[in-house]
Structure 1
Amino acid sequence: MKNTLLICLFVFAALSCKAQNIIPVEDFFDYQNEIPDGTYIKDINNVLNKFTGTWLGSYDNKNYEIVVEEVVYQSQIRTSLTYDQLHLRYKITDANGTILLNTLPLPDDNDYVAMGQYVNPSGAYQLDYAGYEYDCGQSGTLFIKTFNDNTQMKLYLYLGESPYNEDDCPNGFAEQEFPTNSQMLLTKQ
């Protein structure tokens, strides 16, 4: 009887410890600097689902196809941390349908796939973005936020600091591929 009781206590303790290491993805913003080893930032309340899918929109005479998917990511910096996060890929075409940029076929670990960070307090999701001309200023944080019963999404780019060397960028600061002064509207397909 004592052995059965001890086994039950060990199982209960193990389950309790495991539950303490799960942080809901929507609460990650509050824990950023205090995440213990072995933590799983998990989408237990399905808050990321509203962002996933294929989204279409136009901006500055270009057509955008944005594909957002949820992935499980194992941190490369702290191997004991696991995240449910969003990855964003895109295809940009001109008015004639000519492809200007296409990251849709790229693998998850490619630098040009925008990788999620967290849902911020406003309800927008933040993703790290690096464009093909990163060294000439194409980088920052993409913000996406759904509205209208999650059938539409707003997207904009907040410019980050990237290396910029005039010798490496003879044409100057790179043109941004995403809006920085206004929001692009996208519709879920």
Structure 2
Amino acid sequence: MKKIVFIGLLILFSQKDIAQTIIPLEQYKTIWEANQGLPDNSYVKDLNNIMGRFLGTWRYNANGLAYIFIITKETHTFFNVKADQLVINYTIGNISTGQLFVDTRKLSVTDEKITKGFMYYPEKDGFLFDYVYNEGCGQIGQLFIRQEAPTYIYLNLTLIGDTKPIIIDCGTDLNLTPPHNNRITLEKQTF
């Protein structure tokens, strides 16, 4: 009988430890700004499919270059918190020749060059991300996206600190700058 009571109590207390606290995506920013922290085993979840509007392939053309952003939704765990997040891969290439100068599609989601995050700003109805391509070359900043219409989002990349042009390899003369410090409109691509 003692074994049955002990096993029952063990199961009861172990269930308590694995309970998960669901934090709606829309509430995370308020918790973060209040510096309250999240309980262990929390899940910042996109309950209302806010991220769904941003998913897909988006394109912007300027000065003979095509900027293509591929936005997906993934769930990742950071420390003891699970979160739905947007992941942005992109390419920058020559419109005429198709030659790619930047391509982050094959990089691991853990690579710092992959823009990812879940900081949703309800008052602006958009997402803010940290952006790093090559920190040593001045390629660090923040990227904000917001949906304008079902087939358009706008993107604003702001470089922080020493705003050197984004250079693929700091040792070359190739200056390839993604649009920054300026709002651009991306059009959704259908295939």
TM-score interval, smaller chain: 0.7 to 0.9
State the distance in 2 between where 1:177 and 1:145 align.
21
- What's the C-alpha RMSD, in Å, of the aligned pairs? 3.0
Q: Which residue of 2 aligns with 1:65?
A: 68
Moved more, 93-102 or 137-146: 93-102
Aligned-partner Cα distance in 2 for 1:183–1:38? 37
In the TM superposition, what is the alpha-carbon distance from 1:163 to its structure 2 partner? 11
SS of the residue corresponding to residue 49 of structure 2 reads: coil
Is the 1:54–1:188 Cα contact (8 Å) retained in structure 2?
Answer: yes
Aligned residue pairs, count: 170
Structure showing the higher strand proportion among its residues: 2
How far off its partner does 1:140 sit?
0.9
Q: Cα deviations across residues 166-185 of structure 1 (Å, max 9, x unaligned)?
A: xxx6789x957332232121
Query: So what's the TM-score if we normalise by structure 1?
Result: 0.77
Rate the CA distance shift 1:110–1:30 in 2: closer, same or farther, 3 A.
same
User: Structure 1 vs Structure 2: percent identity of aligned residues?
Assistant: 27
- Once residues 119 and 82 of structure 1 are traced to their aligned partners in structure 2, the CA distance between those partners, rounded to angstroms, is 16
TM-score, normalisation: structure 2: 0.76
Segment of structure 1 superposing worse, 65-74 or 119-128: 119-128
- Separation of aligned partners in 2, 1:162 and 1:28: 30
Q: Distance in 2 between matches of 1:158 and 1:45?
A: 28
1:142 positional shift: 1.0
AA matched with 1:111: E
Whether the 8 Å CA contact 2:139–2:163 is kept in 1: the answer is: no
Separation of aligned partners in 2, 1:59 and 1:73: 34
Distance, in Å, in 2 between the alignment partners of 1:130 and 1:85 is 17
In 2, the alpha carbon distance for the partners of 1:163 and 1:143 equals 17
How is 1:139-178 mapped onto 2 (pairs within 5 angstroms)? Answer: 139-148=140-149, 150-161=150-161, 177-178=177-178
Gaps of 5+ in 1: none
Partner residue, 1:22:
22
Structure 2: runs of 5+ lacking an equivalent: 165-169
Deviation of the 1:37 alpha carbon: 2.3
Return the letter of the residue paired with 1:82.
Answer: K
